Amino acid sequence: MSDTKYDKYEVIVGLEVHAQLSTQSKMYCGDSAAFGASPNTQVSPLSLGHPGTLPVVNESAIEYAVRIGLATHSQIRYENQFARKNYFYADLPKGYQITQDKTPICTHGYIAFEVNGEKKKVQLTRIHLEEDAGKSIHDIDPYFTLVDLNRAGTPLIEIVSEPDIRSGDEAMAYLHEVRKLVRYLDICDGNMEEGSMRCDANISVRLKGTTAYNPRSEVKNMNSMRNVKRAIEFEFIRQVDALEAGEKLVQETRGFDAIKGITLSQRSKEHAHDYRYFPEPDLPPVYVTDEYVAQVKAAMPKLSAELKEEYMNRYGLPEYDARLLSDDKFTSSYYNSLLAATGNAKAAANWMLGPVKNYLNEQGLEIQHFPLTPDKIAELIKMIDEGKTNFSVASTKIFPEVAASGKMPMTVAEEMNLLQSSDEGLIQQLIADVIAKYPEKVAEYKAGKKGLLGLFVGEVMKASKGKADPKLTNKLMMEKLEA
Ligand code: MN
């Protein structure tokens, strides 16, 4: 392959992720932080920033920040101050955002993950707490922008990475890991499309082998992982083209147009905001003690890596299965419930990664919306283990009917006349019939063509209309032929 001008360059990316914390109330007051209420119903003089009101820090938000700090191997700050970041915008009623400027609650952490089979570690510059702004709605009224202040003051963490990311794929894998973490930690629902996780990407390029940074573009407010990847790939080409054409890059803020797949300049550094940060005079510092951190640590939910180990070591699953079952919180939580209902961990994994996964794919559902409760899958497993049915009948006939009707598997199997027979007398009779029907084949078998066993067993199964226990049939058939 011939070298192109692009091969000489690498892309340098740092990501800033804003994640909305799933606390009941807002960051600095008691207004509800629930999503989806009628516009401007979850506001009070406090979230509207009326003069004379005083903010108070939400303790749950501190706890959630400590959880993500611990999960990302961060140092947790003891003395936390808050600061005002001043700017004017219609959806920012106070005229400033209360954030953490010089004292982010978490520093020096990292996030490790795999991308295309390779291990990757991205260092975190900081994680800090802040509040969200309200929402400007541009597409309802043709003449006016509407403002909904329900979101004003809801708590956010901002996770800022070092410029350690080197491709769109790495960015996607990193975001996947962040979403996995916040979901496992139960601190954010992680739904990017609904705006509860938003991403800004700082993107620059440089000649491979050099270490200086060129001016970067900051692509703001992307709400899907794929768009982050697309923006990075677009910026790489655009910036390399500019440099190769002898143009000078400038530091600027850009927006991503998801329909055209391009980024557009919004403002350059000369027009950047001066936020005039200063310490928030109305909030005393919040002290996070070692005892408090220890307490949060003791109550931390199990994370993906820990569950994966457990599935392998305690339940004997292969690494591949353990990884798939622990990759997402909702999958592992279903599997854990299933483990509590059945002693057969391997069969439970096979059901999850086979019939259940296929069903979800066909229906376009996520596991959290899977209609079968774990006790139904556990009953299917039990029926197979007890010889009442086999995996093939259970997964292709009983399971779909259980999914459609909501009935218990035993009831469905009885109603559909699908319970298999462990009646030795009946099976022996069918075996005798088959042997009588194929005398030449039996002779071939006895002469060494052992592969014919499958044919004989298949004939018995057919004659029984699929109800003969295949394991038992296999055993009895072999005994008969070897006799
Ligand atoms: Mn921010």
Q: How far is the CA of 352 from the centre of ligand 1 (A)?
A: 39
pLDDT tens column, 82-92: 999 999 999 99
Question: What is the arithmetic mean of pLDDT over 347-373?
Answer: 95
Task: Specify the pLDDT at position 53.
Answer: 93
Residue 2: per-residue pLDDT: 54
By C-alpha distance, which of 122, 198, 191, 123 is closest to 158? 198
Distance 158 CA to ligand 1 centre (A): 6
pLDDT digits (tens, 9 = 90+) for 240-283: 999 999 999 999 999 999 999 999 999 887 777 789 999 999 99
Q: What is the pLDDT of residues 75-130, one digit of tens each?
A: 999 999 999 999 999 999 999 999 999 999 999 999 999 999 899 999 999 999 99
Neighbours of 368 (CB within 10 A): 11
Checking if the pLDDT of 1 tops 70, the result is: no
Q: What is the CA(123)–ligand 1 centre distance, in A?
A: 18
Q: Is 401's pLDDT higher than 70?
A: yes
Ion ligand 1: residue ranges with CB closer than 5 A: 158
- As to burial, measured by CB atoms within 10 angstroms (0-12 exposed, 13-18 middle, 19+ buried), residue 402 is buried
**pTM of model > 0.85:** no
Q: Output the CA 99–ligand 1 centroid distance in Å.
A: 8
Residue 234 CA, ligand 1 centroid: distance in Å = 24
Mean pLDDT (whole number) for 59-65 = 98
Alpha-carbon gap, residue 84 to 293, rounded angstroms = 26
Cα-to-centroid distance, 223 and ligand 1 (Å)? 15
Distance 128 CA to ligand 1 centre (A): 8
The rounded Å distance from CA 132 to ligand 1 centre is 8
338 half-sphere exposure, CB direction, 13 A CA radius: 31
Instruction: List the end-to-end C-alpha distance of the chain, in Å, as a whole number.
Output: 66
Name the token pair of 354.
């086979």
Question: How far does residue 133's CA lie from ligand 1's centre (Å)?
Answer: 10
Ligand 1 centre to CA of 130 (Å) is: 7
Cα of 101 from ligand 1 centre, angstroms = 10
pLDDT of 420 over the 80 cut = no
User: What gap in Å lies between CA 450 and CA 473, rounded to an integer?
Assistant: 16
If you measure from the C-alpha of residue 361 to the centroid of ligand 1, how many angstroms do you get, rounded to a whole number? 36
Ligand 1 midpoint to CA 224 (Å): 18
Ligand 1 center–CA 198 separation, angstroms:
10
- Going by pLDDT thresholds of 50, 70 and 90, the confidence category of residue 193 is confident
Structural domains of the chain ordered from first start? 3-291 (no CATH), 303-413 (no CATH), 424-482 (1.10.10.410)
454-467 pLDDT tens trace? 899 999 888 888 77
Q: How far is the CA of 221 from the centre of ligand 1 (A)?
A: 11
